[in-house]
Amino acid sequence: MTTTSQPATNKSAKPTDQNDTIERLLAAMSLEEKIGQMSLAQPGEGPPEKTLGPLIRSGKIGAIINVVDPQTIRELQRMASEESPHGIPLLVGRDVIHGFKTVMPIPLGQAATWNPQVIQEGAARAAEEAASVGINWTYAPMMDIARDPRWGRIAESFGEDVYLSCELAAAMVKGFQTGGLDSPTSVAACAKHFVGYGAAESGRDYATTNISEHELHNVYLPPFKAAVEAGVASVMTSFSDLDGIPATAHESLLRGLLREQWSFEGIVVSDWHSIPELCTHGFSGDEADAAIQSVRAGVDLEMASETYNANLPEAVASGAVSEALIDESVRRLLQLKMDLGLFADPYLRSTDQATGPQGEAKETCYQAAVESLVLLKNDNKTLPLSNDRKPKVAVIGPLAEAGYEQLGTWIFDGDPSQSISALAAIRDHLKDGGEVLYDRALETSRSRDSEGIERAGQLASQADVIVLCLGEESILSGEAHSRANIDLPGAQVELVHKMRELGKPVVAVIMAGRPLTLSNVIDQLDAVIYAWHPGTMGGTAIADVLFGQVAPSGKLPVTFPRAVGQIPIYYNAKNTGKPPTPELVTYIDDIPVEAPQTSLGMSAFHLDVDHRPLFVFGHGLSYTEFSYQNMTLSRSVIHPGESIDIRVDLANIGDRDATEIAQLYVRDPVASLTRPVRELKGFQRIQVAAGSTQTIEFRLHTDALKFYKQGQGWIIEPGLFEIWVGGDSNASLHATFEVVDG
């Protein structure tokens, strides 16, 4: 990465009239007015017209956050456009993370769909609803690679995999920006958090990250590059540091890599108060120093704090910051406002009232929810439940009737009254036959008072089958909600064991913002549906899968550990010099008393837990069975710059139609840098009729085989490559090919 504090070259030609307008404004603005454009302000206490109005009229604010009342937004835009010194409209930002009024599954749940199309459509519907109140900018998608489920913000991520995150991040960007930035139903997207935020030590939000240069480029940066290539309008800096330099002041990252190497021309915004927090990091001596370091690094817009307005005028006067750097940032901010159509019509997105949940949005929300459900376990074909015999179903648990909780984290504007709970949907499904017995058992997912468990057991003893609605409330995941223990919280484990004692089939529907450690309950359950926090239409999706209206098709976007002590555990790890295998491991119960002090097994495992994950990346069962056979390659030898076609027969050997997610994995077994044991390089959602076979084809280009090597950039090395195709990251259908020079 290069370092430069000089203004970046404008690499793309903008319409002459736009450039002329921007340059005229820059020439007319005072330094203080320019710096005002670099301020993103929150309303504070009191009516925004009073708290923000004077600052808007004086040109001290260029953007606002967390104002959602449509009339208020319209009035603030009027002030900016008609009463500020130069009539410059406002950026209006809001965290529209996975829906606005209509709430999609949390992003981690959306990732379980492995469906870029439904994610793009969901973002488009969210943008439409948000734009209806006057919002023109959102702080999503978050594309931080997340390998630690203790981290609360894993809920906002697309999981642990680079390829999947790239595909889904690009899809969400395109969805938010559907029709172009100047569409009245689009909002500007923001790629966050640049970069490495998901690698926080111990899964503690905001903690230090330690990422090697090799890991940074091969794992954490690619989703951001994909977002830039998809046309993302803005990038947000990470709270964390990289190699000792906080991202908000990282000049070689922001100016060198993002702008110079990637040619990004959008705006860079700090995260909330992350500029003054440079002082807390111990990187800046005071807030004046923090402001100087941030603007030099390339941060165009300061979120929530006031260090730019307070300190940059003096910094320019003293020569610590050139006015040319200020102009560069303001030019980009004005260009975004121009691209959003705000100069032509500052009220482009305003309506008299917000667009509430609509049929089209609910349909997309339902599709995302039903495709996100992952069937982790289904012993003895417990699912789907049959309603032919008018069953008596006990619905038990604190999340059965929890319309608010199923919406998940970051849903400031979601409407819980529109949520269809699992209990409501199950009752609706059995309204023409069957009976639903319901008991909450626990007041909340965190409740340790087990008094209600006995009562719930007495009720459930009358049922034919028990459906437990378990998990964690939405407040237990998200920003600043990291957990050291990720078992089912409260007395839920006790509840599971009580239900098992009744001798009935027990099905668990688990709603959570992260993978939970389920080893202490998994053997007590006949079937498990992992529902994440499934959003507005979650209950309908859950009931339809429970009763077989739809076959489950979700696949895990993240590995499920058996125990917290295994974390981080992820499928695309390195092999190491001593990989564990069943014949090499010796577990604690197998060690003789007074055993000699030898290195048991001589491999990378824990003595007290199975070295394998509980559920692997890509895992997800169906109500049918799929078989992968007959892999053929179009070529056995290819050259750099060429592609190879991989064909596989995918057979549905069960008795019902269903959708499978076929996955392609690659390994470079010998390289000048150690490489992961497998890497996802392709996937397809395929509907296969019962008893039929489809031939599927993947095209693999040698660009997908490249890796980043410090000092050389992205390279491909000749040699043998392995490939697997199957239904999860343990796919066994295998072949090899060779890449040769010349």
| Amino acid identity at 683 | F
Residue pair 503/167 in contact by the 8 Å Cβ criterion: no
Residue pair 573/616 in contact by the 8 Å Cβ criterion: no
| Burial category of 246 from C-beta neighbours within 10 Å (exposed 0-12, middle 13-18, buried 19 and up) | buried
Grouping H, G, I as helix, E, B as strand and the rest as coil, residue 678 is: coil
Dihedral sign of CA atoms 586, 588, 590, 595 in order: positive
Q: What is the CA radius of gyration of the chain?
A: 27
Helices (H), 183-304: 213-215, 222-229, 251, 277-281, 287-297
Q: Which of 456, 551, 544 is nearest to 506 (CA)?
A: 456
How far is the C-alpha of 429 from the C-alpha of 545, rounded, in Å? 11
How far is the C-alpha of 472 from the C-alpha of 377, rounded, in Å? 19
Peptide bond into 568 cis (omega under 30): yes
Q: At what angle do helices 162-176 and 116-131 cross, to 10 degrees?
A: 30
Dihedral sign of CA atoms 462, 465, 469, 471 in order: positive
| Amino acid identity at 234 | S
How far is the C-alpha of 228 from the C-alpha of 72, rounded, in Å? 32
- Determine the straight-line distance between the first and last CA of the chain, rounded to whole angstroms: 30
What does the CA dihedral 197, 200, 206, 207 come to, rounded to 10 degrees? -140
How far is the C-alpha of 563 from the C-alpha of 588, rounded, in Å? 15
Please report where in the chains the tokens 């948000």 appear, as a residue: 130
Residues 6+ apart with CB under 8 A from 94: 65, 66, 68, 130, 135, 137, 138, 139, 412, 413
Peptide bond into 7 cis (omega under 30): no
DSSP 143-160: ------TTSGGGGGS--S
Among 148, 161, 271, 327, the one annotated catalytic = 271
Catalytic residue list contains 271: yes
Q: Measured over all CA atoms, what is the biggest interatomic distance in the chain, rounded to whole angstroms?
A: 84
DSSP 69-126: -HHHHHHHHHIIIIISTT-PPPEEEE--SSBSSSBPPPHHHHHTTT-HHHHHHHHHHH
Residue pair 114/158 in contact by the 8 Å Cβ criterion: no
Grouping H, G, I as helix, E, B as strand and the rest as coil, residue 679 is: strand
DSSP 323-354: HHHHHHHHHHHHHHHHHTTTTT-TTTTB-SS-
Enzyme catalytic residues: 271
